[in-house]
Structure 1
Amino acid sequence: MNFRTLTLVAAAALLAAGAQAQSSNVTLSGVVDAAARSVHNEKGTTQSLVSGANSTSRLILRGSEDLGGGLKAGFWLEGSFATDTGTPPTQFWDRQATVRLSGPWGEIRLGRDWVPSFLSYAGADTMGYVGIGGAGNLISASATTAINRAFGSTTATTSRTNNALEYWLPGNLGGVYGQVMVAPGERANAQSNFNLYGARLGYANKAINVSGHTTSSRIDATGSRWSESGLTGLYTTAGGVKFSAAWIDIKYLDSKQTNLIVGVRVPIGAHELKASYGRADQKGQNAAGASIDANDGQLFVLSYVYHLSKRSAVYANAAQIRNKGAATFALSGGPSGAQPGTNHSGYEFGIRHTF
C-alpha cells in the first residue's frame, strides 16, 4: 500500500467516523517539517534538504471508543515520511501501531511501540531527539560499540520494538506513572531474535518529572543480553524555563557506554532558546579485543525557535561533535569517510507546521 493510498484510507476513515455514535471518534493529525542543513567534517562540507529537524514529519491516525463502565478501546497508527522527497519508510507505520484497552486499572497495549528506556531518555533531550543536535547522535549502531556488537548495523530494539505487549499504570496515582513491556522476537537472524523486556517508573507534577528505566534484549548469537538503564529528571520553573538531565548505561558483553545529557529551554514570548550538552564515555573492548576506553564523544547544541502561531514555527539549530581516540560519532548528513577521532559541525534552519 503506497503513501497516496494510505492517505485516502485515512481520509475515508475520518468520514466514516462522522457517522458513528458520539462515544466513538477518529482523528487524523500530523507534522510537516523540513530544513536546509550544512554539515562539515575533515572530508568537506555537504548541504542538503532534510525532513523533521524540529519535529519528525509524520502522519497520525488514532481513534477511541467509550465502552461504558470506565472502559475504553482505541488504536494509534503513526508513520513518518520524508518531507524533502515525499516518501514514507519501508515500514509504513514505523513509529507506532498499537491497539489499546484501558480502564480504572490502567491500560493494555499491543503492537509496535516505543521501548520504555527510549521514552525516558528522549523525553529529557532538549532537542526532542531530532535534528542536527539530537541526543541520538551519541547513540548509533556504528559508533556505539555495545550496540554494534549486539545488533550489527541496525539499532533494532533500542528505540521501538515490534510485537510489544504492554501494561501502563492508570493516571490517577497522584503523579506516579509507569509501564512494563515484553516483546517476543518471533524470528531469529544472524544476530538476535530481540526478545525484549523493559520497564520504567516515574513521578511527575507541575514542576518536576523524574524516572528510572531499564530495557534489555536477548542476543541469540551469544546467549547474552544487551541492556540499557538509566535515570532522567526535568524541572520547570514558574516562568516556564525547563531544565533537563539524563544518564544512561548501555552494556553488552565487555562493552559499555555511559551517556550524560543536560539541557535548558527558555521561552520568551513567541521566542524559544534551547541549549544542550551531551557526553558519551565508552569502556571495555570491541569484538576484536581492542580497548575502546579512549573512544569518547561530546555534543554541543544551540537552538532558536520562533513560534508564528500555535501550529507553525521557524527555527535554526547549530551543533558540534568532538570525538576522542578512535570514536566515530557524527552529525547526520555530513560527508562520508571521515577518519575516527575527528570533529563534525553543522547548522540548519527550517519550517515546521502541525495539523
Structure 2
Amino acid sequence: MAALAVAGVASAQSSVTLFGVVDASISGYSATTRDNRPTVFPNQFGIPTYLNQGSVKVSRTALANSGYNTSRLGFRGTEDLGGGLAASFWLEAPVSNDDGATGVSTFSRRSTVSLSGGFGEIRLGRDYTPTFWNDTVFDPFGTNGVGSNLINTASGYNLSTGGAKDTGGFGGNQNYARASNSIGYFLPPNLGGFYGQVMYAFHENDKYSSGRFTPEDSATSKSRAGRYIGGRIGYANGPLDVAMAYGNSTVGDQFYAGTTDSVKTFNLGASYDFGPAKLFGELSRLKNSRDYEIRPITGARSDVDLTGYLIGVTVPVGAGLIRASYSAVKYDFNQPYNPFVLNNADPKANKLALGYVHNLSKRTALYATIARVSNKNGAALTVGGPGFYKVTDRVFTPKTSTGYDFGVRHAF
C-alpha cells in the first residue's frame, strides 16, 4: 500500500527539477581612507599639536563565491491540474561553496508555492520584491561580484557604518531584495509583450485593540514594521525591454510615539539589444521618511533621499561577452543651508566596472571583473570585502575602494 501511494504521488507530479550554480573566484578588495586635517606644529601661542596621519589602506584576498552568478541549490516542480491550471513549488537555498559553511539549511533565496493558469500566477512565500527586479535585470553584472551597481550597493548599506554591510539596508529596509510572508500576483505571459506583478508582504506583528493596550516596550510596539507593498509593470518586445516599479516598505512603527518610518522606492530601467552591443540604463530614487500622527513644531526628523543612475553595455565577442557599467548615487539629508558649517555637502559616490566572460559551454564559464568606487563628502561605499578604517571616529575620510574577481561558474 505504501509503494502504491508513492507511485500515485510520482505519477501526479508532472516534473521535479534539481538545479543549481557553483561559482568560485579568487577575489581581491581594498578600501582607502585619508586624514584630511592639516598638520599643526607646536608654537608659542599654545596651539595644540596635530600630526596628519596620512592614508590607511585595508585590503583582503579571498577565495570567494558568487562573483558571476550566485551559488545556489534548488528544487522546483510543477503539477498539471488540467484545464490550463498548474500548481508549482520553488525552494532555493544559498550555497557558500568556498568554505562549505552554508548549504541547504535555509531556503532564503526563494521559497514559494503557486497556482497558475490563464489568469496569471498567484505566488505565496519568500520572493524577490518588484522594485529589486529592475536593479538586477538592467545591470550588466546582475548585482553580482565586485561589478554590482552602486544602486544595489547603497540600498543594502548603512551610511554610518563605514562601508560595513548592514542587514537592514538603506533606512533599515530589510525588504530591499526579498520579502518574506508575501502574496504575489503575476500577469499571464500572453499580453503582447506586457508583463507585471504586485506584491504584499505581511508584517506578522501583534496588533492590540484598543490600541492603548499596546505595550510600551519598543520591541513589541512596532506593529507594522516589516510590511511591504509594491508593483512592477513592463514591456518586452524584440530587442526592447523597459519596466518601472514602486514599493513601500514599513521599517518602523512606534504606537506611543505616533510615528511610522518607511522606505519608498521608485525605479525605471530599460535595455535595448542592437546586436553588436546591448545597452542598459536605470534611474532610481529611495526615500526614508517618518510620518507623524501629530507633527511636532520642532525636532521633526528630516527625510533622507538616495538617488542613483546606471548606464551599461554588453558586447558579445565570439564565445565571450564584454561587460561594462558606470553607476552613481547621492544622498540628500534635506538639511537647511548653514553658512557657518563647512564641508556639509551631501555624500555621493560613483563606480566604474569592467568585465569579461568566456563561455566554455552553455553551463560553464570563466570570468574576470575589475571595479573601482570613488567616494566624496563622507560616502562610504565599497566593492565588497573590508570596510574603511575608523570612519566612525571621524578622523579618516573614505576615499576609494577597488576590487577584482577571477573565477569559474558551473550551472546544472
Same fold (TM > 0.5): yes
* 1:280-291 alignment, distance < 5 Å: 280-285=329-334
Report if the CA contact (8 A) 1:112-1:160 is conserved: yes
Deviation at 1:294, TM superposition (A): 2.1
* One-letter amino acid of the counterpart of residue 352, structure 1: R
Alignment correspondent of 2:410: 353
Task: Decide whether the 8 Å contact of 1:282 with 1:293 is kept in 2.
Answer: no
Structure 1 residues without counterparts, runs of 5 or longer: 1-15
Which whole-Å CA distance do the structure 2 matches of 1:149 and 1:87 have between them?
A: 19
- Answering whether residue 31 of structure 2 is matched by residue 41 of structure 1, we say yes
Q: Which residue, out of 279, 301, 321, partners 2:328?
A: 279
Cα separation, 2, equivalents of 1:216 and 1:90: 31
Does the aligned pair in 1 maintain the 2:158–2:171 contact within 8 Å? yes
- Of residues 329, 332, 338 in structure 1, which corresponds to 2:384? 332
Q: CA deviation at 1:238?
A: 3.2
Q: Which residue of 1 aligns with 2:91?
A: 77
Instruction: Give the conservation status (yes or no) of the 8 Å contact 1:232–1:247.
Output: yes
- The residue that corresponds to 1:24 in the other structure is 14
For 1:216, the equivalent position in structure 2 comes to 248
Name the Cα RMSD after superposition.
Answer: 2.7
AA matched with 1:213: A
Which residue identity is paired with 2:249?
A: S
SS at match of 2:132: helix
1:115 to 100, 115, 129: 129
Give the structure 2 partner of residue 258 of structure 1.
307
Alignment length (residue pairs): 336
> Aligned residue for 2:64?
50
Cα distance in 1 between the residues matched to 2:389 and 2:7: 51
* Residue 293 of structure 1, CA deviation: 4.6
Q: Could you report, residue by residue, the CA deviation over 1:188-210 in whole angstroms, capped at 9, with x for unpaired residues?
A: 77576211101000000121010
Corresponding letter in the other structure for 1:25:
S
CA distance in structure 1 between the aligned counterparts of 2:345 and 2:253, rounded to whole angstroms:
26
Deviations 1:308-329 (A, max 9, x none): 1110011110000000001111
Given residue 249 of structure 1, which amino acid in structure 2 is its aligned partner? Answer: R
Cα deviation 1:100-135 (Å, max 9, x = unaligned): 100101100000000000012211111010101112
Change in Cα spacing, 1:119 to 1:101, as seen in structure 2 (3 Å) is same
Give the partner amino acid of 1:206: G
Instruction: Look up the match of 1:225.
Output: 262
* In structure 2, distance between residues paired with 1:285 and 1:100: 43
Task: Choose which of 46, 66, 75 in structure 1 pairs with 2:80.
Answer: 66
**Farther off after superposition, 58-67 or 41-50:** 41-50
* Residue identity in the other structure for 2:240: I
- Greater Rg over alpha carbons, structure: 2
Percent same amino acid among aligned pairs?
A: 35
Equivalent residue, structure 1, for 2:284: 248
Matched, 1:207 2:264: no
Residue 69 to residue 90, structure 1, CA distance change in 2 (3 Å): closer
Shift of 1:155: 4.6
The Cα of 1:347 is off from its aligned counterpart by 1.2
SS at match of 1:333: coil
Distance 1:76 1:279 in 2: 35
Decide whether the 8 Å contact of 1:141 with 1:154 is kept in 2: no
Shift of 1:337: 2.1
Q: Are the counterparts in 1 of residues 154 and 170 from structure 2 also a CA contact under 8 Å?
A: no
Report the counterpart of residue 7 of structure 1 in structure 2: none
Query: Offset at 1:336?
Result: 4.7
Q: Are the aligned partners of 2:155 and 2:176 in contact in 1 as well (CA < 8 Å)?
A: no
